[in-house]
Amino acid sequence: MKFPANLTEYTSQLNRRLRTSEDREQAGYEAGLIALLTGDAKRALEIWTHIGVAPEARERVASALAGDGEPTAPRHLPTWRSDLAQVLYACSNEDAWNRRIRLAWWYRTSSNHVEDLAILIHLAPVLEALMAGDLAPALGVGDSLANLLETAAVIQVGEATLIPGVDDWRMLLGEHGELNEPASVDEISQAEERLGVKFSSSYRSFLQSTNGFEAAGLRPVQEIGWFRIEYPESVDMFQVDEEPSVADEDYFVYGSAQDCALFRPEYLRTALVVGDTTADKALLLNPKVSSPGGEMEAWDFSLWLPAADRFMSFKELLLSRLAR
């Protein structure tokens, strides 16, 4: 398919498709491609990862972002695609002006951007040029498109996309138990610095409404710690021969369709303990899986099974706890 001239309007349509249509995977794939075209490779990778699409494209982009070596060329560049060959030649040249002119020419004349990118993304010089934002000026992109692309990475639908504010949390939690004094901005920042992570918006607003919540087993921010330090025996139980230990198509499933036994134990080494519901259950945040907006995956982890009920965000975890 060919992308329209007005990318901002089109990305708005993609967001609606992600929320309401049955072709969310295709919409997510296209949103990732647009992010790549505008020079935001990291966001493209996050969108594709969270929606669980484009495994080959994810591998190429992840390799390039990590600097693990250049992506390899595809099995073949169709001999009849002289237009793509010209793009490859221009991007192999050190002349930045020539790269931009040729990429802009390709975008303007291509009859099928999605099909072309399935080839171009495997060509190291072209991928590097796209990641450097060489095409972005020709697309006339701005902050509005970047904001729309961030929204496109949110997997949940309806109210699940909303982040509760401090007043929202206080009103909701007050119906279920006694609130503590809120954590100060300095206390939250000190914990982030101590742990070397940045908390998600939903968890930060929770802490600013109450510093811990005993009714749901959630700790004050000063007591958050690493799972590997607090439960070293559980970490040592798992010997993972290959990572990821669970395939993306099985792992990135949430809600009632989720199999709680299909979690990735390798993530326990970097998981944060934010609460304890019983002696053998822990509430965790997983920094290894997060949305472009910074919402970390959250686990309700049973040490004795072992198994994990996983949620797309801290908000979803806490709402699940309150509903019990």
- Whether 209 has a pLDDT exceeding 90, the answer reads yes
17 or 187, which is more confident: 187
**Per-residue pLDDT band at 193 (split at 50, 70, 90):** very high
- pLDDT band for 322, please (50, 70, 90 cuts): confident
Domains of the chain: 7-152 (no CATH), 160-322 (3.40.1580.10)
Whole-prediction pTM = 0.53
CA–CA dist 100, 102 (Å, integer): 5
Query: Does the pLDDT at position 258 exceed 80?
Result: yes
What does the pLDDT look like over 298-321, one tens digit per residue?
999 998 888 999 998 899 899 888
pLDDT (0 to 100) of residue 310: 93
Model confidence at 18: pLDDT above 70: no
> 135-178: per-residue pLDDT in tens?
988 887 655 565 555 555 444 333 344 578 888 899 889 989 99
